[in-house]
Every structure is written in C-alpha cells, then in structure tokens.
Amino acid sequence: MDTYRCLNDTRKGLVETLIESWLFVAAMISAIAVGAILFFLIYFAWPIFHEDHLWKLLSWYWRPFQDQFGILPMVAGSVLLGISSMLLAYPMGIGVCCCVYGLGPRWLSGLTLMIVRIMTSVPTVVYGFVSVFLLVPFLREFFYHGSGFSWLAATLTLSLLVLPTVTLIVNAQFELFDPEIRLATTALGFSPIKQLIWVVIPASYKGLLAAAVLGFGRAVGDTIISLMVSGNSPQFPHSMLDSIRTLTAHVALVVSTEAGSMAYNSLFAAGIMLFGVSALVNGALRFIRAGSE
Amino acid sequence: MAFPSTSCSVFAQNLSVSFSARQVINNLSVEISSRNITVIVGRSGVGKSTFLRSLNRLNEEISGSRTEGTVKLSFKDGTVDIYRDRFPIEELRRRVGMVFQTPHPIPTSIGKNLSLPLKLVLNLPSRKIDDRIEKALTIVHLWSEVKNRLKEPALSLSGGQQQRLCLARTLALEPEILLLDEPTASLDFKASEKIEDLLSELKRDYTIISVSHSIGQARRIADNVLVMKEGSIIKVLAASQFQEKGTLEDLLNEVF
Ligand SMILES: Nc1ncnc2c1ncn2[C@@H]1O[C@H](COP(=O)(O)OP(=O)(O)OP(=O)(O)O)[C@@H](O)[C@H]1O
Ligand SMILES: [Mg+2]
C-alpha cells in the first residue's frame, strides 16, 4: 500500500514538473516574441525620430506624392472610431446583461446569450461585407451625403463587433455575484432593478472597467471593418457622415500599395502607437485587477 | 376564508413546496399567534428554512420551486392571502423580515448595509437614516463595536458580528413579522443571551418565528414550539407544557 502511494506521488510530481516547464517555455516564447516585435518596431522606426522627419509625421496631411506623411488624421480616426463605437456598444452590452440577469423574462435571457455567443464566432469580414451591401447604401440614400462609407457606418458595424466582448465580460462578472446575497437583498424587499443598480453593479465595477478597456482595445485594434466601411480618406472628419481612416487600415493600405521609404517609416510610427494602445490596455487591466487586493 | 382568530398572525393551510418535483413541505397546516415567539425545531433537512421562505414568497426566487396551498398573514392594516391577493411582493417582503441561517451582508460598507435598504425599500429621507441606523445597531448590541468603522467593508466583520448586522438590517426596516433562521448559530453564549433577551423584548411588537437547533434556547424564549418532521408540523407545544427542565427534551425525544 505504501509503495503504491509512493509511486503515485512521484508520478504526480513528474506530471506537475512537465506541465510547469511547458508553461514556462510557452510563457518565455510569448515574452520573447512580444519583446522582439517591440524591438523591431523601434529599430525600423528609429529614423523617424530624426527631428524633421518627426515633424512630417505629426502633421494633418497625408499626401505621399507631395512628400507629406502626416499620420495625425489616422490617429484621430482610430481614437474617434474607438470612442464612438464604445459609446454605442458599452451601454448596449450592459443593457443586454441587465436583461439577462433577471430584468427580462428567463427564456429571453437564454436566447440573448446564445445569440451573443454566436456573434463572437462570426468572422469579422462578414460584418464588413454585410455592412458594405446593406448599411452603406442605406446611409447613402437616407442622408443624401457622400458615398455612405463613413465614420457612422464604421461605428455601427464596429459596435456590433465589440458588443459580444462587452456583454460576455460583464455577464461573467455578474454571474460571479453570490446568489445568496441576491436572495438576502430580495428578502429585504429590493426590486430586481434596485438590486441590480445598487448592489450587483457596484460590486461588479471591476468587470465593468475591464469590459470598457478591452472593448476599446478591440475597437481600436480592428482592421477589417474600418478598412471596408469607413471610406479611408486620410482626413479629420467634420461630421459622422464623413469618411475617416484608422491607423490599422492605414497600415494595411500603405503596405499593399506603397513602397517609398518615408511612407514605410510612417507605418512603423503607426505600429508603435498601436502597440502603445495595447500596452495601455494591458496596463489598465492589471491596474484594475490589482485594485481589488 | 376568514382568519381563524384575531390573535393569529400566520395561518398556513395545505401548504406544499417542492424543488424540481421533490416535495419538501408536505401538506403543512399551522396557526401561529401574533406577538409571540414561535420556535421551530426539527432535524436537519426537514424543511424548516423552506417553510420560513414560504412565508415571504422567497422560494419563488429559487428556480424549479413550486408552492401550493394557502398562506394568510395578518398585518396591522389587514389580512393578506399572500399567494392569491395582488399584494406588492416587495412590500410583503419588507413586512415579513427574514434573517438567514448564514449572514449575507451586501459586499459594501457596514453603514451602507443598513442605509441602502432604508433608502431604497423604505424611501426614508437621508436625514432620518443615521438615527435609524444607530437605533438598529444599538438594539442588536453592535453599535459600540462598529460605530467608528461604519465605512469599513461589512465583510471585515466576524461571523457573529455579521449575523447581528443582518438582524439589525432587517429590524431597521420595521417589519411586522420576523423570520429568524437560527439567529444565534454563530454567536458566543453571552451574545446569544443578549439576542434572546432582545427577542423577548421584541415580541411585544413583532410576531417572531425562529428556527433553533438549541433545545435550551427553545425552552427559554418560546411561547410555542413547532416540531417539524418530513415537511410537516407534527406537534405543537405550548410553553406551559415544557417549563420544567428536561420535559422538552423528553417530548422531543419521543417524536424525533
Ligand atoms: N435551493 C434549493 N434547491 C433545491 N433543493 C433545496 C433547496 N433548498 C432546500 N432544498 C431541499 O429542501 C429540503 C429542506 O431544506 P431546508 O433548507 O428547508 O432544511 P432545514 O430544515 O432548514 O435544514 P437545516 O436544519 O440543515 O438548515 C432539503 O432536502 C434540501 O435539499
Ligand atoms: Mg435551514
């Protein structure tokens, strides 16, 4: 009996060591990969930190044939699109979660969650495609303004893409809430809405923040939708019906069309900015998690 | 159906509760008198908590539950047939205050555990809330322990302090019927004694129904003891029947 137990123990130890070393290797590989990406980005972008180059990049004009390589319109495009799609998707996602979490009828909540889960598995390009053929023509006819490829079209489409991210994170956080505490507050006479607003949501603020940060990261990081439906004019939009170009779409477009060295250099600047956004998102998530302890 | 007598405040008839087809409360009928302490005793799992929850319609919040039968409660302003009358359920639950077997404070500060229900359920203006909080915490003998830490998280309190906090939270809402599920389970004997004294005081204004696993406690505080077995009440004992030490134990030994 004793030998058996002993044997069993060492085997378990071996498995554990294997898993641990495998995890360590995986972690090291990802860390090295991220480090290498950052290194090459900075290495290739180094020339642009030359003073006159930098000023060229920090301008509002992207006219590569006239030697103007400003990326500010794209920065503005990314930020504006990220914010506008979050302004739409975030309240919608929280609304869906509230509905799922007891405000709506039970059958509806199951159905909604199922639809949201399916939405995550639809390839992004499908959203773009559908949008180009349905939403864009509709906007064009409805507003009589431009081609329909616009900040508004990208916002509407992108918010659909971000909605599941927001919903699933917030819902997971809501589900962590102790059902016994819900029962206890119900017994005190709280209505479901009061319970949600005053008890569950305050206790879930971490998930709400994480959903906002991750959703924004996802919106800024998306390429296909902005490339397909935003119109891609490198300009600062004056209305939501104007066309915009995001940093990600910019990179995709320039890589596939240009080869001039200055144009490429500007891409590395764009890359560094996107990297910075994702670093900020990660930093913010860490900060949110640490906030609890 | 008229209420059987004016001194009766809880009346249940043919009450049955099941969870996913498993019957837990079985054709239970009982009358519980007002301004009295009624103690429910019975083995673990016989349905004591479930019976308490059927008096404030809380079983409905548990998925898969089904309730049949009649429960009538008499309040100061009239009688409510809680499963038939269209009485607002939140108001019913406020009037039938319940303290759970294990304390479940809201994960926020100690003070907010009391102020939130007062604000949201009772719509009390904020100037009255502080007074009410102090009063409620004082009667459960918690005020001196927490008066300087009302902003601290409720979960930083000990189990017994949390239990008294939850009792205070319910009392602050001024219910008319009080359901207590082992209110002294995590208290030391000194604190239990204080709560027992408190209950004996409170019965002047409230109808108290308390589950207890302590026969000693039942003898000390109960005006009536209900013995539960297999989801029904099989015996009702009045205080006069068990005043002598040992008689309650003997009576219970017979039926357990
Ligand atoms: N939420 C629930 N879902 C399903 N079954 C439940 C639920 N709550 C209680 N039950 C079942 O109902 C029966 C009675 O439970 P209840 O909690 O009322 O017993 P109790 O008399 O209060 O026991 P104890 O003295 O241990 O607290 C048990 O068999 C239990 O498994
Ligand atoms: Mg119980």
CATH fold of the domain at A55-292? MetI-like fold (1.10.3720)
The DSSP symbol for A198 reads I
| A7 Cα–ligand 2 center, Å | 44
Single-letter amino acid, residue B50: T
Q: Tens place of pLDDT for every residue, chain A, 293 residues?
A: 444 454 455 556 788 888 999 999 999 999 999 899 888 888 877 777 776 777 777 788 888 777 777 888 998 999 999 999 999 999 999 999 988 887 777 788 888 889 999 999 999 999 999 999 999 889 888 888 778 899 999 999 999 999 999 999 999 999 999 999 999 999 999 999 999 999 999 999 889 999 999 999 999 999 999 999 998 888 898 888 899 999 999 888 888 776 566 677 778 888 888 888 888 888 888 888 787 55
CB pair distance less than 8 Å for B90 and A203: no
Domain locations in chain A? 2-51, 55-292
Sheet of B96-99, strand order: B96-99, B177-181, B207-211, B37-42, B224-229, B232-238
Name the residue with the closest Cα to ligand 1, atom 24.
B44
Q: Nearest-CA neighbor of B38 among B79, B10, B67, B70?
A: B10
Report the CATH number that the domain containing residue B134 is assigned in CATH. Answer: 3.40.50.300
Mean pLDDT over B76-80 rounds to: 89
| Residue with tokens 């590569």, as numbered in its chain | A64
- Convert the pLDDT of each residue in A196-255 to its tens digit: 999 999 999 889 999 999 999 999 999 999 999 998 888 898 888 899 999 999 888 888
User: In angstroms, rounded to a whole number, what is the distance separating the alpha carbons of residues B15 and A151?
Assistant: 62
Mutation choice for A interface testing from B91, B92, B120 by most A CBs within 10 A: B120
| B228 Cα–ligand 2 center, Å | 12
Give the pTM. Answer: 0.81
User: In this structure, how many other beta carbons lie within 10 angstroms of the beta carbon of residue B79?
Assistant: 15
Residue B2 lies in a domain: no
CB pair distance less than 8 Å for B104 and A178: yes
ipTM of the complex: 0.91
| Residue with tokens 């064009």, as numbered in its chain | A140
Whole-number CA gyration radius for chain A: 24
pLDDT grade for B107, boundaries at 50, 70 and 90: very high
CB pair distance less than 8 Å for B56 and A187: yes
Tally of domains within chain B = 1
| Contact by Cβ (8 Å): B64, B20 | yes
| A229 Cα–ligand 1 center, Å | 57
Q: Which of B17, B48, B66, B99 has most ligand 1 atoms within 8 Å of its beta carbon, as the pocket-test mutant?
A: B48
Contact residues, chain A to chain B, C-beta under 8 Å: 178, 180-191, 194, 198-199, 202-203
- Residue A171, judged by CB atoms within 10 A of its CB (0-12, 13-18, 19+), counts as buried
| B171 Cα–ligand 2 center, Å | 20
List chain B residues with CB under 8 Å of A189. 90-91, 93-94, 117, 121, 173
Q: Which domain holds residue B21?
A: 8-255
Single-letter amino acid, residue A201: I
* Phi/psi of residue B137, nearest 5 degrees: -70, -30
| Residue with tokens 């079209």, as numbered in its chain | A153
Residue B37 lies in a domain: yes
| Contact by Cβ (8 Å): A248, A78 | yes
CB pair distance less than 8 Å for A191 and B90: yes
Mutation choice for B interface testing from A106, A182, A188, A196 by most B CBs within 10 A: A188
User: Please, where are the H alpha helices in chain B?
Assistant: 48-55, 89-95, 110-120, 126-139, 143-146, 159-172, 189-202, 215-221, 247-255
User: In angstroms, rounded to a whole number, what is the distance separating the alpha carbons of residues B77 and B181?
Assistant: 26
- Tokens read off for A19: 């898993």
- Convert the pLDDT of each residue in B234-256 to its tens digit: 989 888 888 777 778 887 787 77
